[in-house]
Structure formats: C-alpha cells, structure tokens
Amino acid sequence: MDCVVFCSKDYRPILPRLHEITDRFNTYFYYTITAYGKDIEPGVPSVEQSMETLVELADQVGSRRVAWRYDSVLLTPTYTLERHRETFSRMCDVLAPHVDRCIFSFVEMYRKLRLNMPELMPLSVEDMDDLARTLGSVAAEHGLWLQTCGTNGDFSRYGIHQSGCMTLDVLGRANGVEFRQLRHRGMRAGCCCFEARDIGAYDTCPNGCRYCYANRDHRRAAENYRRHDPESPLLIGSVRPEDAVTRGAQRSLIANAGQRTLW
C-alpha cells in the first residue's frame, strides 16, 4: 500500500488512534468543511467545531498532508453569494495556515437533489463565474492555493487552478515520496485525479446531508450504519459462507519500489 487517503467531514473520533496508521503508511487527508448549517448538513459538526478539529489534525499529521474541501458549492435563498463570501473569508482566516490547499466544486443537479432540496437554485454560467471570482479573490488575499474538482470550467483568470486534487504529485510531495510518472485517467468526467481503490460503500453515512450523492436513501443509510460490526473486516455486516473474497491486482507506484520495504 503506497498511500492511505482519507475523506471525511469529522476526524474527531479517530484522532486519538490515527497515529496507528500514520506511523505505518504514507497518508493524505481531505477535510470537507462548508458554509452550511444543520438545515442542510444535520449530522455534521458546526463550522467552528470542524475548524478546531482540522487544526488539531494538521498539528498531528502536518499541514502539507491536509486539504480543505469547500464543496459542494450551492445557492439557496439562505446561502447566497454574499454569505459564501463572508463564511469562506472567515474560514480562510483560521484554516489557511493549516492546509496544503483548498478544493471546491459546484453542486451537480441530480434528480433526487431536486426532490431533497426544492429551495436549491440552479447555477447558471454567470452564477458559477460570480462564485469562482468571489472564492478566488478571498483565497488570494490569504495566500491559499485554490483549485476546482471535477469541473471542466476554466477559472484560471481568478487565480484558481485546474482539477486534479488527488494526484501522484500531490501525494508524493506531501509524504516526501517520488512516484513514477503515470497518466491520470480520472475517476469520472472532468476529473484529473489518479485512479484509486475505494474502501467504502454507498448508503452508509448517517450525516444526512441533503445534497449528498452517496446516499440514495437516508433511511437505508441509517440501517446500514447500525449493521456495522467493529470486529468484522467488512464495512457493513460480516463475511458470509456464500461470499467470495477476491484479491485485487496491486502493484506499487513508488519509483524504485523494489529497493524499499512496503507494508
């Protein structure tokens, strides 16, 4: 295993034992903290609590291994352009010294999202341009590297870098490791990341974020969450007699990997 990459909205529960992983593996951490409250993210800690946890995480693993995700960016009558400006600026005041970069993306209008969030305002090209200009100017004021994720839009005129948040270059520099030069095929349209092996499952998060694409049904997610067995090697439930376990094809991507010991 060359690197373990985490994505979360709350690292507080694992901070006390995180060293058991960081002591053994190269790591990188994506921490999603948005402008939204309990009306949109009912199970997520407050902005203030989340920022405090991110600072503690960065103190433990180093700021070069932490990326702040400010997404998905959406508009409602409550979460306006001006509110994004105010909240993002306040968050940059705290977080900019403790992160490697900030990554944002615009909300994707899935069909179920129109049902879950009737107050959601579809983003026009002009809306996205206004949001990008706002976020870009605030990031520049704080000396914060800002980039997009999974979008084909070019906002470089606002100092915003192109997509490619999980690349071998990013992971290598964060961990002092040199990876081989390989093509990044991306995980979906508009993505410039390196292909990775996910450890996770849809319909398992109990946070209930209304814009979430990973939960098809929040009730099903809550039920799956209750089925978690900490003694099981699976995320949900246990291995059954009829299950087939297949070993994936794995090879190191680290340059000269044969000359070092890998876990």
The Cα-based distances of 79 to 8, 41, 87, 88, 108 in angstroms read 22, 13, 10, 12, 16
Residue closest to 252 by CA, chosen among 185, 187, 182: 182
pLDDT of 261: 39
pLDDT of 259: 45
102 exposed, middle or buried (CB, 10 Å; 0-12, 13-18, 19+)?
buried
Q: Which residues contact 219 (CB under 8 A, 6 or more apart)?
A: none
The Cα-based distances of 236 to 4, 29, 228, 233 in angstroms read 20, 23, 5, 9
Give the residue extent of every domain in the chain: 4-200+252-259
pLDDT of 180: 86
3-class DSSP state for residue 83? Answer: helix
Contact indicator for 207, 44 with CB cutoff of 8 Å: yes
- Domain 4-200+252-259, architecture per CATH: Alpha-Beta Horseshoe (3.80)
pLDDT of 235: 85
pTM for the whole thing?
0.90
Q: Which residues contact 147 (CB under 8 A, 6 or more apart)?
A: 101, 102, 103, 104, 160, 161, 162, 163, 164, 165
pLDDT of 190: 63
Average confidence (pLDDT) per 10 residues, the chain, 263 residues:
93 97 96 96 96 98 97 94 96 97 89 81 93 96 93 87 85 92 70 77 89 84 89 88 86 71 38
